[in-house]
Amino acid sequence: METIALPNSDLNPSRIALGTWAIGGWMWGGTDEQQSIRTVQSAVERGITCIDTAAVYGFGRSEELVGRALKEGGLRNQAVVATKCALNWNDNGPYRDASRARIEQEIDDSLRRLQTDYIDLYQIHWPDPTREISEAAETMRELKQKGKIRAVGVSNFSVEQIREFEKVCPLSAVQPPYNLFERGIEDELLPALREDGIGTLTYGALCRGLLSGKMKRDTQFEGDDLRQSDPKFQSPRYEQYLDAVEQLDRYAQEHYGKRILHLALRWLLDQPGVSVALWGARRPDQLDPANEVMGWSLDEKAKQDIDRILKDTVKDPVGPEFMAPPTRSEV
Ligand code: NAP
């Protein structure tokens, strides 16, 4: 497994990270606790040492399961635990809250749920437009000084917000959405992060399963699964994405003897500026393809071929904006 040093820290996470949003159950049609625990343990055992979670995933449940898995498996010291704060919630659901009071309460809740006395990478989940950025930045800087966290990150921030934050607190990583189908960060954010020397943990490597190759025209989702309202999964756009997957899968087989899932992850890891790709899984066997992502790379010609396939198939692209949580006054 490839690893990478993150700036402003002594962290050296695996370049593939396990994403544990689905393990929390909420917005993913529920969770199986034993499977979830085994998935986290299996990830670390196979060298996927970076585990990404958030307080809001299952309203604490994902963190609890990650904590139990690492504790029961005796794996805490091998893992790079990344979690997130600054979303609050009430009966109407989550909302942005990057106040000092909220972050100071959340760090202790997260440490307790994760059964640990330090968090490796602590990230502001979403910017809160109702507060000054410096308030969250100062709070995070102090948490690092106190030793509760080893490194600071932000997620879903613009270049301007990142630079404002860095005036007060140096960042080790930024977490934006990025995958073959969601390329919004290529114009501005990714070049700026490369220029500023900040690490990236990019999320949604498989575009919520679309790039796994298992989605069919008649795939149904259970319960509160967010893919029921995800605009990519609605016809006729859904069929365009499925066509792209089919053609990319054929390309991967013909040129590399690989499948679409391997191609999707390899493409991400080969993009200049991507440090770590977050791959969501909730069963250990879903991580089996990880080995086949290592030990090869895509050349420029392949990247151009891939872009041509995407241009020819996805005529009506849409981004991940539907996932953005509201502010306090909007809930
Ligand atoms: P993802 O990695 O794009 O896709 C995950 C889904 O792909 C899984 O739930 C699973 O679907 C399917 N899958 C995984 N491995 C598979 C395999 N081997 N074969 C077939 N299907 C497979 O999705 P994501 O969970 O949205 O993103 C990854 C992580 O990024 C999250 O868990 C979270 O840690 C992070 N994230 C962060 C933010 C943020 O705002 N910072 C937002 C979104 C995500 P099934 O569930 O159907 O099995």
> Quick one: which of 180, 182, 189 has its CA closest to 213?
180
Place of tokens 């959340």: 106
Rounded alpha-carbon distances, angstroms, from residue 171 to 159, 175, 180, 242: 13, 11, 26, 37
Task: Give the pLDDT means over successive 10-residue stretches in the chain (331 positions).
Answer: 97 98 89 96 98 97 98 98 97 96 98 98 98 98 98 98 98 98 98 98 97 95 90 95 98 98 98 98 97 97 98 96 93 88
The helix or strand, by DSSP H or E, that contains position 314, with its residue range, turns out to be: none
Q: Say what the pTM is.
A: 0.97
Contact in structure between 127 and 156 (CB atoms under 8 Å): yes
Place of tokens 């625990």: 37
Q: How far apart are CA 185 and CA 93, in angstroms?
A: 27
Mapped onto helix, strand or coil, the DSSP state of residue 321 is helix
Indicate whether residue 286 lines ligand 1 (CB < 6 A): yes
Indicate whether residue 202 lines ligand 1 (CB < 6 A): no
pLDDT of residue 26: 84
**Domains present along the chain, CATH in parentheses:** 16-209+269-291 (3.20.20.100)
Output the residue whose Cα is nearest ligand 1's atom 25: 280
Q: How far apart are CA 140 and CA 61, in angstroms?
A: 23
Q: List the catalytic residue out of 57, 178, 238, 251.
A: 57
Place of tokens 């989605």: 215
CA of 99 to the centre of ligand 1 (A): 28
Indicate whether residue 155 lines ligand 1 (CB < 6 A): yes
The helix or strand, by DSSP H or E, that contains position 113, with its residue range, turns out to be: helix 100-113
Indicate whether residue 278 lines ligand 1 (CB < 6 A): yes
pLDDT of residue 147: 98
Using the CB atoms, write b or e for 303-327: b if 16+ within 10 Å. Answer: eebbeebbeebbeebeebeebebee
pLDDT of residue 277: 98
Would residue 57 show up in a list of annotated catalytic residues for this protein?
Answer: yes
Q: How far apart are CA 177 and CA 283, in angstroms?
A: 22
pLDDT of residue 30: 86
Q: At 273, phi and psi to the nearest 5?
A: 105, -15
Rounded alpha-carbon distances, angstroms, from residue 237 to 177, 209, 294: 20, 16, 32
How is residue 179 annotated by DSSP? B
Indicate whether residue 207 lines ligand 1 (CB < 6 A): yes
DSSP tally for the chain: helices H, then strands E: 9, 10
CA of 204 to the centre of ligand 1 (A): 6
